[in-house]
Amino acid sequence: MSYLVATVKQIESCENLHIVAFDYRGQTLRMMSLDLADAIAIGTKVKLTIKPSHIALAKNFEGELSCSNQLQTTIVSITNGELLSAIKLDFLGTLLESIVTLSSSQRMDLRVGEEIVALIKASELSIDEVIND
């Protein structure tokens, strides 16, 4: 799992459906969610989580994508298995992990140190817990 600590900055609602925007070090992340816990309000600090298999990668990409979250990251490490490739990414000081097929990883010719865009759909981002401090 990949985790990010962010602060709730906006909540849009339609009945029990919500789009929540978070601030993470000046970057905005968006999450689609059904009912939210009572504790979630503007200013609430939360730990966000994303499954590594839900993070797609884009390199030298041009054009429009529907993904709400397009994060500028740097590749920290690449671990290749027989079929899959686990890629660790640095996103402004937080480590994220993406798991893609080995063939995609090789086709994109990914290299450590390279800048890459991590793509996460709003429906695949979730709140792990509220952080009280």
Partner 1 sequence: MIQIDINKKLHGANGEMDLCVRLDILQGDFIALAGQSGSGKTTLLRILAGLEDSNGTISVEGEIWQDGKSSLMPQKRKIGFVFQDYALFGNMSVEQNLLYVQKDRALASKLLELTQLSQLKDRMPSTLSGGQKQRVSLCRAMMNRPQLLLMDEPLSALDPTMRTKLQQEILALHKEFGTTTLMVSHDPSEIYRLAQRVVVLNWGKIINDGTPKDILLKTSGSAKFSFEGELLDIVQVDVIYVAIVAIGQQLVEVVVSDDEAKALEIGQSVSVSTKAFTPRLKRV
- Residue 92 backbone phi and psi in degrees, to 5: 50, 45
Binding range to partner 1, per CB under 8 A, among 11-19, 60-68, 77-85, 102-110? 11-19
For residues 40 and 74, which CB has a smaller minimum distance to partner 1 in the complex?
A: 40
Sign of the dihedral through C-alpha 121, 47, 89, 28: positive
Angle at CA 60, nearest 5°, toward 54 and 65?
Answer: 50
Residues 58-117 that bind partner 1 (CB under 8 A): none
Smallest gap from Cβ 34 to partner 1, in A, equals 6
CB-CB neighbours of 29 under 10 Å: 22
Smallest gap from Cβ 49 to partner 1, in A, equals 7
Smallest gap from Cβ 53 to partner 1, in A, equals 5
- Rounded to an integer, what is the distance from CA 111 to the centroid of its chain? 20
For residues 51 and 90, which CB has a smaller minimum distance to partner 1 in the complex?
A: 51
Residues 6+ apart with CB under 8 A from 95: 2, 76, 88, 89
How far is the C-alpha of 123 from the C-alpha of 22, rounded, in Å? 14
Out of 7, 27, 49, 74, which residue is the one contacting partner 1 (CB under 8 A)?
A: 49
Out of 11, 27, 47, 51, which residue is the one contacting partner 1 (CB under 8 A)?
A: 51
Smallest gap from Cβ 50 to partner 1, in A, equals 10
Positions touching partner 1 (CB under 8 A) are: 1, 14-17, 34, 49, 51, 53-54, 126
